[in-house]
Amino acid sequence: MGEAAIGSTGTAETFVDNGDLTADVLRGAYGRFPSGVTAVCGLVDGLPTGIAASSFTSVSLEPPLVSLCVARTSTTWPVLRRAACLGVSVLAEDQGPVARALASKTSDRFASVGWVAEPPGSVFVVGAALWLECRIVQEVPAGDHVIALLEVDRLAPHAAVAPVVFHASTFRSLARS
């Protein structure tokens, strides 16, 4: 364990040193940062293929770029990246079960998911807060993940739909003000 730091409130925080940063420690720490949840889906060989991703972020307005990070151990990403284009659905506050279905190891992840396909092959989750149709423009190796950079070709916002938030391994809703 590292040294304790004393903040202005007088409380001590103990740092975990690099040598002690296990996957479980890091997963717990990274889970302290709330994020949205996306379904990244496309048609491959005529069938919907997809993953759930909370490591999604906007990157650029000009050109319109977004990114997501995918574990190198993913068996779905090598298949999904073959899609002509990808549909990114920002999941709604009631779609935690959709994220769980797309993150599962079952063969038919879409059995309980309402979806629609758009030419030339993007797949979107029905009821999501936002749809982005994207193309992969670059993949960058990054440790045990790959950062996929996607260019947005078109989008469909659903302004009345609130997004789901993932925090500390739990799906949550935003508070209304």
Backbone phi, psi, residue 28, to 5°: -65, -40
Q: Which residues constitute the domain of residue 8?
A: 1-30
**70 and 87 belong to one structural domain:** yes
Rounded CA separation 89/56 (Å): 11
The pLDDT profile of the chain, 177 residues, written as one tens digit per residue, is 556 666 666 666 788 888 889 999 888 888 888 899 999 999 999 999 999 999 999 999 999 999 999 999 999 999 999 999 999 999 999 999 999 999 998 778 999 999 999 999 999 999 999 999 999 999 999 999 999 999 999 999 999 999 999 988 889 998 877
Rounded CA separation 19/17 (Å): 6
Cβ atoms within 10 Å, residue 49: 23
pLDDT of residue 3: 60
**69 and 18 belong to one structural domain:** no
What CA–CA distances, in Å, run from 136 to 19, 44, 69, 101, 152?
Answer: 35, 15, 12, 24, 9
Q: Does any domain span residue 43? A: yes
